[in-house]
A and B are shown apart, each in its own frame.
Chain A
Amino acid sequence: MTGIINYEAGNIFSLTAALDRLDIPYGMINKTSEVERYDRIIIPGVGHAGAAMQKLRDSGLAGAVGEIKKPILGICVGMQLLTAYSEEGNASLLDIVPLKTYHFEGRIAEKVPHTGWNKVYPENNNPLFENLKKDTYFYFVHSYFIEYNATFTAAFAQYGLKFSAAIQDKNFFGVQFHPEKSGAAGEQLLLNFSNLR
């Protein structure tokens, strides 16, 4: 069973709807003691990274995330929380994956937010991307990006620069795009995650 970290950072209706369509059972994690009920965990998140981090702290779950040994998937801002720092709100984050989150603005000539379908290139046969071709389109909408890193980038995308479309460090995974909105490809990725042990 998949547990969703429930810290009120944005709307999770679309995520739970996608899990329902895929017959992936899930429940909500409201406090630390509930983490152990689940085989894998999703951290959703939309909006402002600094504000999301504060909500995670307020929920009392921030300290527990780093201790989790099961597969864990951060989505969008939920993934950015795994990094050390975000320029959004000049915020210190969970620092589980030693990367930084930067603003696109001022670094690229392209429009910000990065909105729409872009090609994602998995690295090192990352298991999240099993049964997906090498340049599959996923749906993005974000103004901040996680830097590319040869060790921790699980998949990259190009938008004015090369950035982390997905990251992995041990059992910690993150995707910048929205699998719950990325058509069949997104559903495959959620299924892949639900098969991780």
Chain B
Amino acid sequence: MLAKRIIPCLDVKDGRTVKGVNFVNLRDAGDPVELAWQYSREGADELVFLDITATHERRKTTVDLVKSVARQVNIPFTIGGGINELADADVLLHSGADKISINSAAVRNPQLIDQMANAFGIQFVVVAVDTRRVNGKNYVHLNGGRLKTDVETEDWIKEAESRGAGEILLTSMDHDGTKNGFDCVLLDKVNRGLSIPLIASGGAGNISHFVDVFQQGHADAALAASVFHYGEILIPDLKAELRKNGIEVR
């Protein structure tokens, strides 16, 4: 059976990780490559690097970072942030990225998903969706959740899938940063209509939240940042607990 995936997310700015980290034995906590290597050794199944300034300041994701990670890390990784056109993705593919994640650019120009899927295969294309609840409905938000659109989240996810997304990375902006758990209700609802993998993001605070996101949200993978970076949850402990709850993990 396919294992549920645990994915640490590293926010990167100017080639350095942004949030503080609390790893022992780490020479340089700001070095995303060393951090990535450490996570892979601890049992992370995949990694996501997000250039958090990229969309807002129109920065291109650093190709050097992707190359360094691909050289040194032996698990798959996704790079997101500032990918606006086919050429951006092409450079990243040839620098060793396994997947790219597109967010705002895809909402503004949905055909980008078709183009990327045709050029690189759907397995390369992760569509990241930031959602927030407004008057009882879920709407897609852009620019790190700052800008509301009129597009309803579930409609957009269906469209992204039909255009050739290989995976959906769904972040609940309402839950993100709260540490109160993932939005399992929305995740479960989205998952029912989806025939591609769903990565849950936003709200992880403790180990039981991960049990919930797989048992109630039925996500295929769970992504988190600070709980891992600050050492609040260690991946071996997390996986042991998931296993104890009958959830298949590597």
Contact = CB atoms under 8 A, between A and B. Distances in A.
Interface string B60-95: 000000010011101110000000000000000111
Interface residues of B, number: 31
B94 A11 contact: yes
A181 B72 CA distance: 11
Q: Is the interface of B mostly helix, strand, loop or mixed?
A: loop
B2 A17 contact: no
B1 A13 contact: no
Number of chain A interface residues as a range: 35 or more
A20 interface: yes
B2 A118 contact: yes
Contacts of B3: 116-118, 137
Interface string A1-33: 000000000110110011011000000000000
A128 B146 CA distance: 51
A68 to B, nearest CB: 27
Nearest to B98: A181
Contacts of B120: 47
A142 B122 CA distance: 9
Contacts of A181: 74-76, 98
A159 B220 CA distance: 14
Contact of A142 (B67, B75, B123): B123
Given A116-B2, A117-B45, A137-B3, A183 B167 contact: no
Interface in A142-159: 142-143, 158-159
B229 interface: no
A48 interface: yes
B121 A18 contact: no
A183 B250 CA distance: 11
B5 interface: yes
Nearest to B99: A141
Interface in A139-193: 139, 141-143, 158-159, 178, 180-184, 186-187
13 contacts: A13-B96, A14-B70, A18-B74, A21-B71, A21-B74, A48-B121, A113-B123, A115-B166, A115-B220, A117-B5, A159-B2, A181-B98, A186-B74
Interface of B: 1-3, 5, 40, 45, 67, 70-72, 74-76, 93-96, 98, 120-123, 166-167, 194-197, 220-221, 250
The 6 closest A-B pairs by CB, nearest first: A13-B96, A137-B250, A117-B3, A117-B250, A141-B123, A17-B71
